[in-house]
A and B are shown apart, each in its own frame.
Chain A
Amino acid sequence: MFSYLIRRVLATIPVMAIVALFVFSLLYIAPGDPAAVIAGDQASPEDIEKIRKSLGLDRPFLLRFTEWAWSLLQGDLGTSMFTGMKVTELIGQRIEPTLSLMFVTLVFAIVIAVPAGVLAAWKVGTWIDRFIMALCVLGFSVPVFVVGYLLAYFFALERDWFPVQGYTAMKQGFWPWLENLVLPGVALGFVYIALIARITRATMLEVLSQDYIRTAKAKGMGTTGILFLHALKNASVPIVTVIGIGVALLIGGAVVTESVFAIPGLGRLTIDAIVRRDYPVIQGLVVIFSFIYVLVNLLIDLLYTLLDPRIRY
């Protein structure tokens, strides 16, 4: 087990290295002249040359990449071209709202989606099942900011139940913090709920047709016990896997949700950076988000052994 842990952790290093290499290569893959694009239309040739220098485009790729990767290893993501601040510092200032939003969404999604999926599998073929599955198709089809605006319109503008926009830091109290995150959390969670509910239903259907479920029924076990003790436990591995994969959706969606609800997090930082064409910041954000994603999936891989004792390494 311990050696597996070490091996699994070590295995993420090449993945992260490839992420870093790929993100760095974007500067070279992108068609046209990135320096000219970043400088904007009114830039003089000198400005463009200055940006080319600061991005390191005037030096050979490998040399530049080694430099960049070396500072990345030391936790240095470069300097913002617009504010002159360290990218890591900028990210540090904005990370709390984003992590809060993602955490609240995760909790919402799991609490709603897993029981919904179990219910759909239990009542398979009935109108309850159809209704839940129809909601799932809707969840995949309605973009996150549309859900966000709908929620904001009905629950914040029409009825004064939640604040329309904004964010309150957690240290100012739990309830004010949560109050601001309910609508964004539900909006962001919509597609995620659809994803988890669908896989929960599919795996539950498979598990419910197993012999040991029939045995449990035969010996008189209650439905709740069968569904949650026997079936859900055995269906947990694929469900947890999808929860991990879906974090990519969460990250992408967070950028938009923060914009809809004016939450000053990493998404807001991304949008500001796009408007100012502040490439080092964007690059840093992509690296940070990707690393978070890789780490979440590493944790989930390690969770497998707890969920299913048959999985041994």
Chain B
Amino acid sequence: MQSKPVAEQLPDLFAPRPIAKGFVAYCLRHPTLSFGALLLILMLVLAVFAPWLGTIDPTELAPIKRTREPSAEHWFGTDAVGRDIYSRVLYGARVSLLVGFSVAVLASLAGLIIGLLSGFLRKLDGILMRVMDGMMSIPPILLAIALMALTRASVENVIMAITLAEIPRVSRLVRGVVLSLREQPYVDAAVAAGTPTLSIIVKHILPNTLAPLTVQATYICASAMITESILSFIGAGTPPIIPSWGNIMADGRTLFQVKAYIIFFPAVFLSITVLAVNLLGDGLRDALDPRKAKLS
């Protein structure tokens, strides 16, 4: 027998709002994240498909056509020795993205290892953190410059130099996260249950460091791109033969007062790419930690 309702059902004052599922809805909920990712993907496409996007050999000299203003033939103009700036800028995206991603991955990995070691082995902590303090006292760009002065100019060495300069900050971050996680009740519980230290690190600590580390990695990627362009700009980075945004701007430096467009185009591309990565980082930070997102 069906029971009769005692009273009328109350009207739904706060109708449950279904959270839309699916990829598109997720992107709409995180506009910063999706916009940054979109811009970055666009740059990646430009970099990967550079040879098929109406470019010519970016190192081809054409002294007759030097310092041509932007036109239909040369969209971004030509530089002091007649190289097509549009082609150079597109190929230059490869260097910037390669350096940015490599440094982000390598510095995060190294920082993760050092941070975990120093968060768990108290004896090592003192030494490691003093070394990191010392390294952090050297302005990163100067550290990279000093290393580049001692090695042959190459993309690999640029990556290595910037990575070394970024490691201390990541290590500090991971160590901080590890130290606060160690105090969590579930870690105590795991210790009480007799879980070996190594599997505590792998199963309980490591997964929790990944979110802040991912966010940090995007910021490292952004700063590595800027550092690479600065190194190339002052002649301590990518060898001049390889077109990179810093190199193109370095070439345009002496002509700046008369031919400003040589510097303008690589500058715009560099800024947009770094902006894309920064937006991605901000978006990730808010998406991965919604509690903090409301505050900031």
Contact = CB atoms under 8 A, between A and B. Distances in A.
Q: Do A and B bind each other?
A: yes
Given A137-B282, A150-B267, 13 more contacts: A19-B134, A22-B138, A23-B146, A26-B150, A30-B150, A31-B157, A38-B149, A137-B278, A143-B267, A259-B233, A271-B235, A289-B138, A289-B142
B271 A146 contact: yes
Interface stretch (A58-66, A108-116, A273-281): A273-281
Nearest to B233: A145
A153 interface: yes
Given A18-B131, A255-B141, A143 B226 contact: yes
Contacts of A251: 139, 141-142
A275 B148 CA distance: 11
A34 B146 CA distance: 11
Chain B interface size band reads 35 or more
Contact of A137 (B138, B142, B270, B279): B279
Interface of B: 130-131, 133-135, 137-143, 145-152, 157, 160, 222, 226, 229-230, 233-236, 249, 253, 256-257, 260, 263-264, 267, 270-271, 274-275, 278-279, 282, 295-296
Nearest to A27: B150
A14 interface: yes
Interface string A183-209: 000000000000000000010011000
Given A149-B267, A252-B230, A26 B139 contact: no
Interface in A247-262: 248-249, 251-253, 255-256, 259-260
Contacts of B152: 32, 37
Interface string A153-171: 1000100000010000000
Given A23-B146, A283-B146, A290 B139 contact: yes
Contacts of B260: 149, 153, 157
Interface string A8-48: 00000011111101110011011110100110000000000
Contacts of A150: 267
B271 A141 contact: yes
A34 to B, nearest CB: 4
A27 B147 CA distance: 8
Interface of A: 14-19, 21-23, 26-27, 29-32, 34, 37-38, 137-138, 140-146, 149-150, 152-153, 157, 164, 202, 205-206, 248-249, 251-253, 255-256, 259-260, 270-271, 273-275, 277, 279, 282-283, 285-286, 289-290, 293-294
A56 B149 CA distance: 17
B124 to A, nearest CB: 16
A19 B271 contact: no
B140 to A, nearest CB: 6
A252 B139 contact: yes
B200 to A, nearest CB: 31
A30 B274 contact: no
A51 to B, nearest CB: 12
A286 B143 contact: yes
Given A30-B147, A31-B151, A286-B142, A141 B278 contact: yes
Contacts of A283: 146
Nearest to B260: A153
Contacts of B235: 271, 274-275
Contact of B149 (A21, A138, A260, A277): A277
A157 B226 contact: no
Contacts of A249: 139
A157 B259 CA distance: 12
Contacts of B256: 149, 152
A15 B230 contact: no
B149 A19 contact: no
A254 B149 CA distance: 18
A34 B148 CA distance: 10
Nearest to A256: B230
Nearest to B279: A137
Given A18-B131, A140-B278, A279 B143 contact: no
Contact of B270 (A15, A146, A294): A146
Contacts of B233: 145, 256, 259
Given A38-B150, A137-B282, A289-B139, A205 B234 contact: no
Contacts of B274: 140-143
A253 B140 CA distance: 11
A22 B134 contact: yes
Contact of A15 (B134, B145, B226, B257): B134
Contacts of B222: 140-141
Contacts of B139: 248-249, 251-252, 289-290, 293
A293 B138 CA distance: 8
Interface centre among B135, B146, B149, B282 (most CB of A within 10 A): B149
A157 B149 contact: no
23 contacts: A15-B130, A15-B133, A21-B134, A22-B135, A23-B146, A26-B147, A30-B147, A31-B160, A137-B275, A137-B279, A140-B222, A141-B222, A142-B271, A143-B267, A149-B263, A202-B295, A248-B140, A255-B141, A255-B230, A259-B234, A286-B143, A293-B137, A293-B139
Contacts of A153: 260
A134 to B, nearest CB: 10
Contacts of A17: 134
